[in-house]
Structure 1
Amino acid sequence: MPHWQDHPPLPATWQRCDSGILPLWWDRLCTQTSAQSAALYAAGLFTEDRRRPIAQWFNPAFNAALLVAPETSPEWPVQRFGIFYAPPDGGFTRVHSSPHEWHPREPRKSPTEREAFEAAVAEAERFLQVEMDFV
């Protein structure tokens, strides 16, 4: 399986930073909803920074970001990675994409969590390539 570092380079303005959830996500979500609603979004992903794996890109020139992260509650029988976008003008949206799902009760059955994550990361990178044509 290809690793994320084996993909073609992204435009220089987008930086990969997977170490922790950027504060930008919490700020953008709170702007669109209340802090209470934001804390519940994606099973607390943006408040607790506990769920892994994630992939994240940041564009400091535009104050924009893109995130691949689990978007379903850990108790659900089907887990899914979502792609979230914080555009330059503010706001927060989920990118509609192919479902990047796996079944935790069947960890060896394809698609596995790793396969779902890698597919979501590849789709997110394609999104960034296209997005650069518009910003």
Structure 2
Amino acid sequence: MGAHDEQPVIPALWIRHDSEILPLWWERLCAEMGPQSASRYAAGLFDHDRRRPIAQWFNPALNAALLVAIETGPEWPVQRFAVFYAPPDSGFSKVRMNSHEWFTRTPRTSPTEEEAFAASIASAEAFLRVEMDFL
């Protein structure tokens, strides 16, 4: 077995889709808390696709999705990525994980935004591997 064979693999059912936030997020959020509260959640992340970067996976067979995005307001001195999960068919939750954040006042000091984003993607991929064991 080569080193590549030992690497964990994201299940093929999950399709990476980073171009825009899926409408599924807004629909699920509105169903849980109503449009007015939903528009305030995570600084409007789900109804205004304006915050980058994002990483997103979609499973059309399950109608499920996973999203990595900035959850803090742009004015906050500490910025943080979060992982959000929309399980099969309905519902919505934030995945509890290590804090992946950076400081806007010291953008070149580790952890940088790029490092925090990479770490949050690694957390999301680990979540997908575990989640697929239960589906």
Contact 2:9/2:129 (<8 A) preserved: no
The match for 2:124 is 124
The match for 2:14 is 14
Within a 5 Å distance, the mapping from 1:1-135 to structure 2 comes to: 8-135=8-135
SS of aligned partner of 1:72: coil
The aligned length equals: 129
Separation in 2 of the partners of 1:111 and 1:105?
12
The letter for the 2-side match of 1:130 is V
TM-score between both structures, scaled by the size of structure 2: 0.93
For 1:7-51, what per-residue CA distance to the aligned partner results, in whole angstroms no more than 9, with x for missing partners?
Answer: 854111000000000000000000000101111111111111000
Q: Which runs of 4+ in 1 moved over 4 A?
A: none
Larger radius of gyration: 2
SS of aligned partner of 1:58: strand
Separation in 2 of the partners of 1:128 and 1:111?
24
Identity level (%): 68
Separation in 1 of the partners of 2:70 and 2:8?
24
The letter for the 1-side match of 2:46 is F
- Following superposition, the deviation at residue 105 of structure 1 comes to 1.0
SS of aligned partner of 1:132: helix
TM-score between both structures, scaled by the size of structure 1: 0.93
- Following superposition, the deviation at residue 94 of structure 1 comes to 0.2
The match for 2:3 is none
Q: Could you say what the CA RMSD is over the residues aligned between the two structures, in angstroms?
A: 1.0
Separation in 2 of the partners of 1:125 and 1:83?
10
